């Protein structure tokens, strides 16, 4: 009797999952039970595989991190699971967009992955922009193959995902890392067809996922994920514990922090609150309650 196996989901098309096993890449389906429970695997999931023909995914291991989006028909879709490092890639040939970076940071904080800003194309422009956020930075050139600064942020066995707009160099980075000298790894990598969201096991022994642009997606994050991406704004005491530093009277933050960062923070908080209210009527009530408290505090003397 053959036994259960641990496998990893590399990509998904409809009800078929391409999984990496010790024998190489296989196509698997999920059991009716998982489908009934609506516990469907996502790219990056570690799963239990039963060696039937076709192989069946019978269980999903608990996730250590999760990138999600609000599904078009409502509910939540998992885009990628178990990502340890979120590479936020910018191209130095284009204008550096700090607000976009703030948005990616919120998404990374929400997921549980460690964010690293990747400044690519140093061959075109060696001088680096000054970041207004305190995040590790890797300056690289995917064209010349100078990727050591990026690879240094991932340990063998870990998983990284590339985020960034079209044209910043994500595919070039993947191809460069793939062509590096092959080393022995426990799980056999399969063919590398370029589809959307295909997890790849690199010769260096870590996993890499090329993500489609998150910029177009509605923000799927909690208020605290936004705050975590703006610690210099949110960690500071203010007159109101849940102040958004907008029009709240007596706000202590508004005049003290970088105005561009504050504007970016406000924009993301508004977007977050809007998405949450759409998602959840209870949140809409909580928002009303928040303003009620603020107005009440305003009326109090001192
Ligand atoms: N000069 C230069 N060009 C690069 C570099 N990395 C990528 N490119 C070019 O930028 C363009 C977009 O790259 P691509 O990998 O397709 O970006 P993606 O859309 O993020 O996957 C291509 O023409 C690449 O050759 C780099 O480090 N330096
Ligand atoms: Mg690409
Ligand atoms: Zn405030």
The pLDDT tens digits for 53-68 are: 999 999 999 999 998 8
Predicted pLDDT of residue 227: 87
- Cα–Cα distance measured from residue 128 to residue 111, given in angstroms and rounded to the nearest whole number: 27
pTM confidence score: 0.83
**Nearest ligand to the C-alpha of residue 167?**
1
Domain 5-62 annotated CATH 2.40.50.140: yes
CA-nearest residue for atom 9, ligand 1, is: 169
> Ligand 1 atom closest to Cα of 165?
20
- Reduced to 3 states (helix: H, G, I; strand: E, B; else coil), residue 15 is coil
- Reduced to 3 states (helix: H, G, I; strand: E, B; else coil), residue 296 is helix
Ligand 3 centroid vs 129 CA: distance in angstroms? 29
Task: Find the mean pLDDT for residues 158-184.
Answer: 82
> Ligand 1 atom closest to Cα of 141?
27
Task: Find the mean pLDDT for residues 4-27.
Answer: 93
CA–CA–CA angle 204, 18, 90 (5° rounding) = 50
120: enclosing H helix or E strand: strand 114-120
Residues with CB under 6 A from ligand 1: 120-121, 123-124, 141-143, 164, 166-172
Domains of the chain, residue spans = 5-62, 81-210, 223-299
Class assignment of domain 81-210? Answer: alpha beta
Do the domains spanning 5-62 and 81-210 agree at the CATH topology level? no
Predicted pLDDT of residue 182: 41
Strands 159-163 and 207-210: parallel
E strand residue ranges, 15-65: 16-21, 24-30, 46-50, 56-60
Higher-scoring residue by pLDDT: 1, 17:
17
Ligand 3 centroid vs 100 CA: distance in angstroms? 23
> Ligand 1 atom closest to Cα of 174?
15
Per residue in 239-253, pLDDT (tens digit) is 667 777 878 887 878
**Nearest ligand to the C-alpha of residue 141?**
1
């Amino acid at each position: 009797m053959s036994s259960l196996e641990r496998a990893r989901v590399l990509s998904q098309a409809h009800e078929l999952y391409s999984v990496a096993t010790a024998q190489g890449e296989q196509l698997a389906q999920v059991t009716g039970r998982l489908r009934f429970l609506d516990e469907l695997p996502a790219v990056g999931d570690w799963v239990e595989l039963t060696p039937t023909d076709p192989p069946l995914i019978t269980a999903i291991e608990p996730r250590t991190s999760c990138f999600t989006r609000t599904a078009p028909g409502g509910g939540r879709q998992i885009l990628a699971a178990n990502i340890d490092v979120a590479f936020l890639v910018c191209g130095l040939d284009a204008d550096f967009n700090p607000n976009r970076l703030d948005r990616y940071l919120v998404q990374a904080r929400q997921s549980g992955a460690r964010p690293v800003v990747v400044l690519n194309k140093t061959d075109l422009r060696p001088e680096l922009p000054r970041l207004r956020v305190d995040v590790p930075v890797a300056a690289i050139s995917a064209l010349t193959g100078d990727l050591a600064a990026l690879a240094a942020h991932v340990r063998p066995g870990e998983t990284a995902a590339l985020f960034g707009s079209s044209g910043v160099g994500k595919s070039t980075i993947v191809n460069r890392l793939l062509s590096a000298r092959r080393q022995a790894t426990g799980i056999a990598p399969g063919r590398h067809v370029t589809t959307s969201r295909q997890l790849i096991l690199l010769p260096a022994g870590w996993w890499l996922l090329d993500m489609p642009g998150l910029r177009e997606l509605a923000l799927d994050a909690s208020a605290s994920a936004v705050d975590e991406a703006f610690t210099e704004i949110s960690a500071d005491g203010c007159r109101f514990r849940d102040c958004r530093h907008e029009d709240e009277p007596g706000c202590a933050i508004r005049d003290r922090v970088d105005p561009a960062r504050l504007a970016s923070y406000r924009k993301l908080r508004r977007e977050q609150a809007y998405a949450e209210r759409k998602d959840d009527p209870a949140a809409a009530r909580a928002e009303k309650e928040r303003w009620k408290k603020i107005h009440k505090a305003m009326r109090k003397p001192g």
